[in-house]
């Protein structure tokens, strides 16, 4: 790695806002650096600049002192190609946690379908398949998904797309998308459901709900995911792996969208 990855809020604002960046109040810039934890993140990236893939993820878990109580490891088949689907309660520890759990079992042969922003972390980019449904890359979305599912890698997905939200006092995913159903059937992959137990802060959920009620298109809560990552430091998470669901299960008795919600409900019973 020729250049050590570092987070630079000033540079990001300059790139996004151009000359207008100079008019952004310094207290706002300082606040952004604080909630992103710029100094702490950069210290971690510098210390682990030469680590890649599972070694980098292991360093992440040690830095945040996270551990996992995993149930159902016996449900992980040794042979075949599978689609792993999970609820998405956190934003960092759940994604990297599943890589930490599944990676060693399958010798790193796993791919996450994620927003391509995560591709900016070169240390673990081999695990990500960039999925961008907006902007210039939108036209490549179907090809990217098809290539991932046609490969010999295991696919890991958070079908809700966004982190869980809190509605009426309950933390739960929003509607699951049907892609994991249609593509798993098409490529004859059994689906393995996973439930990841965890919550973000009350502040995060209140902000996300205010964002929704005001109809603001930009996901403001996303800015606080780094802060939530640090709030989830020193925690142990329970992860439950369910039994594989044969791809033949997903027949015409339900629509793909209905099957997706069916699997979602199953996940929450684990």
- Dig out the tokens for 261 from the structure: 């919600």
215-256 pLDDT per residue, tens: 877 778 888 999 999 999 999 999 999 999 999 999 999 999
What is the reported pLDDT for 135?
52
User: Which uninterrupted H or E stretch holds 171?
Assistant: strand 170-172
Distance, CA of 163 to chain centre: 8
pLDDT confidence band for 136 (50 / 70 / 90): low
pLDDT confidence band for 118 (50 / 70 / 90): low
**Alpha helices per DSSP H over 214-253:** 225-231
If you average pLDDT over residues 189-213, what whole number do you get?
93
What is the reported pLDDT for 1?
45
Percent of the chain's residues with pLDDT above 90? 63
Interior CA angle at 50 toward 45 and 55, to 5°? 90
102-112 pLDDT per residue, tens: 999 999 999 99
Q: Which fold has domain 53-267?
A: Glycerol-3-phosphate (1)-acyltransferase (3.40.1130)
At residue 239, the 3 state secondary structure works out as strand
d(CA 198, CA 263): 19
Instruction: Give buried/exposed letters for 214-225 (b at 16+ CB in 10 A, else e).
Output: eeeeeeebbebb
Taking CA atoms, 186 is separated from 90, 112, 167, 182, in Å, by 30, 18, 34, 6
Q: Where are the domains of the chain?
A: 1-50, 53-267
If you average pLDDT over residues 170-192, what whole number do you get?
95
d(CA 138, CA 127): 20
The pTM of this model reads: 0.90
If you average pLDDT over residues 128-135, what whole number do you get?
64
d(CA 194, CA 84): 7
Burial grade of 233 (CB within 10 A; 0-12, 13-18, 19 or more)? exposed
Q: Is 90 exceeded by the pLDDT of residue 43?
A: yes
């Amino acid at each position: 790695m020729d250049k050590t990855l570092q987070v630079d809020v000033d540079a990001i604002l300059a790139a996004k806002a151009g000359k207008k960046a100079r008019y952004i109040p310094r207290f706002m810039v300082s606040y952004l650096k604080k909630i992103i934890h710029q100094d702490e993140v950069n210290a971690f990236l510098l210390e682990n600049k030469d680590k890649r893939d599972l070694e980098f993820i292991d360093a992440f878990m040690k830095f945040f002192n996270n551990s996992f109580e995993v149930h159902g490891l016996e449900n992980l088949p040794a042979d075949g190609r599978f689609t792993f689907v999970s609820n998405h309660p956190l934003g960092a520890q759940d994604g990297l946690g599943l890589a930490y759990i599944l990676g060693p079992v399958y010798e790193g042969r796993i791919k996450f379908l994620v927003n391509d922003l995560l591709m900016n972390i070169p240390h673990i980019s081999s695990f990500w398949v960039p999925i961008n449904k907006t902007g210039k890359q939108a036209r490549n979305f179907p090809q990217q998904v098809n290539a991932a599912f046609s490969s010999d890698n295991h696919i890991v997905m958070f079908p809700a797309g966004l982190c869980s939200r809190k509605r009426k006092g309950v933390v739960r995913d929003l509607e699951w998308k049907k892609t994991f159903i249609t593509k798993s059937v098409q490529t004859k992959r059994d689906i393995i459901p996973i439930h990841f137990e965890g919550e973000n802060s009350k502040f995060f959920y209140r902000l996300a709900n205010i964002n929704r009620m005001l109809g603001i298109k930009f996901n403001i809560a996303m800015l606080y995911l780094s802060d939530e990552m640090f709030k989830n430091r020193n925690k142990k998470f329970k992860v439950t792996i369910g039994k594989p669901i044969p791809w033949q299960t997903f027949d015409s008795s339900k629509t793909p969208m209905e099957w997706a919600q069916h699997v979602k409900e199953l996940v929450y019973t684990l």
